[in-house]
Amino acid sequence: MPRPIIARTHPEAVRHNLGLVKQTAPHSRVWAVVKANAYGHGIERIYPALAQADGIALLDLDEAVRVRELGWTKPILLLEGVFEPIDVEVADSHHLSVAVHCDEQLQLLESAKLRQPIDVMLKMNSGMNRLGFRPHAFRRAWERASALPSIRSVGLMSHFANADDGAIDWQLDQFDAVTQDIPGEQSLSNSAGVLWHPRAHRDWVRPGTILYGASPTGATRHVAGFGLRAAMTLTSRVIGVQTLMPQETVGYGRTYQTSHPMRIGVVACGYADGYPRHARTGTPIAVDGVRTRVVGRVSMDMLTVDLTPCPQATIGSSVELWGDRVKVDDVAEASGTIGYELMCALARRVPVEVASGVTTAERSRLAECVTTL
Ligand SMILES: *Cc1c(COP(=O)(O)O)cnc(C)c1O
């Protein structure tokens, strides 16, 4: 028997969340962001749920090729563009669109011999100060890009530093001032922009985390009203039970001490599975469907839970680490991080299966995909 831990992905939830994005930004097309192997869910597993997206955005060339090979015929955008001449060849042969954020990338496109001209999204650094042309250099870059025969269309993109907690106007005003007489499709909004900044929806939105049901802020309460559904459920089982007396301690470092007699469940899940070691005593978890809390320090392969709210729980009881009942955002918040990191950090040793609830057509599509995993 393998260890009882398993992650289940829910393509239906992604389809539902994508529908919410389209309702929320009804005049925009949607780049579904599937970087980092669909935020840890597996591109091949999530792919069937993205049929209604208008494009797929990611940044790993291999992932882009995988998406093409799955049969995706709509646009694919490389969010960080190309790094070397060979990348331009792959982009050309697989019809990939590329972000262009610096002169060196323009240079790569200038020197490339393409079979057909490529679509680019020219990126402005409007204040994030990560990638992009500074506003004063943007027009010059646009002129250079527009003049290139190897480029078919030039879209305009930027990225917000804090769309998740309010202020984007300082960046948006900067972007609009520079681009007011520059033609081209615009794309500005990540998940937070989709949810909270209709002014920034523009031609294409670029949601990632909300497609998977997690909050851009890392706090469930901020997305509570939107009806997002979790695209991943991580479950395991209780493999041991200890009945402790008052003033006994649990686990490494003896960080948790009982104040009354208490049953402790030992769960087959630890930081080597991707569960955060920094999860504090009190981090939510569900045993036999009842919410309770992690107590003591998370170890490599196990963690310990308070069984007081679920006295019937015993060895073999099911445990939800995160999913619909326990939000990944709440686990993240109790661990000093965001849901993004937990989803992406699911360890390779955790088996992943696609949950039922998919249509027959999807099932056969998935059966094909499984061979490529
Ligand atoms: C990751 C990423 C996104 C998606 O961000 P979320 O916060 O997950 O919605 C959008 N645009 C760019 C450029 C990105 O790198």
pLDDT digits (tens, 9 = 90+) for 213-235: 999 998 888 899 999 999 999 99
In whole angstroms, what separates CA 41 from the centre of its chain? Answer: 8
pTM, full prediction: 0.93
Distance 23 CA to ligand 1 centre (A): 19
Q: Domains along the chain?
A: 12-215 (3.20.20.10), 232-354 (2.40.37.10)
Residues 6+ apart with CB under 8 A from 346: 7, 40, 232, 234, 273, 274, 352
Q: Is the pLDDT of residue 1 over 80?
A: no
Q: Identify the three-state secondary structure at position 225.
A: helix
Q: Which atom of ligand 1 is nearest to the CA of 190?
A: 9
Distance CA 36, CA 53 (A): 18
Query: From the CA of 79, how far away is ligand 1's center (Å)?
Result: 9
| Separation of alpha carbons 323 and 232, rounded Å | 6
Judged on CB neighbours under 10 Å (0-12, 13-18, 19+), 307 is buried
Average pLDDT along the chain: 94
State the pLDDT at residue 364: 55
Tens digit of each residue's pLDDT (9 = 90 or more) over 245-281? 999 999 999 999 999 999 999 999 999 999 999 999 9
Between 336 and 165, residue with greater pLDDT: 336
Which amino acid, one-letter code, is at 74? K
**Annotated binding-site residue? 130:** yes
pLDDT of residue 360: 47
Instruction: Ligand 1, residue 194: give the atom nearest the CA.
Output: 9
36-71 tens-digit pLDDT: 999 999 999 999 999 999 999 999 999 999 999 999
In angstroms, rounded to a whole number, what is the distance separating the alpha carbons of residues 32 and 312? Answer: 43
C-alpha–C-alpha distance, residues 26 and 255, integer Å: 50
DSSP 303-317: EEEE-TT-TT--TT-
Q: Name the residue of 46, 190, 223, 338 whose CB sits within 8 Å of the most ligand 1 atoms, as the mutation to test its pocket.
A: 190
Please list the active-site residues. 35, 252
For the cut 80, the answer to whether the pLDDT of residue 372 exceeds it is no
Q: What is the pLDDT of residue 365?
A: 52
Q: For the segment 134-179, what is each residue's pLDDT rounded down to a tens digit?
A: 999 999 999 999 999 999 999 999 999 988 887 899 999 999 999 9
123 Cβ inside 6 Å of ligand 1: no
Which percentage of the chain shows pLDDT scores above 70? 95
Query: Residue 352: is its pLDDT beyond 60?
Result: yes
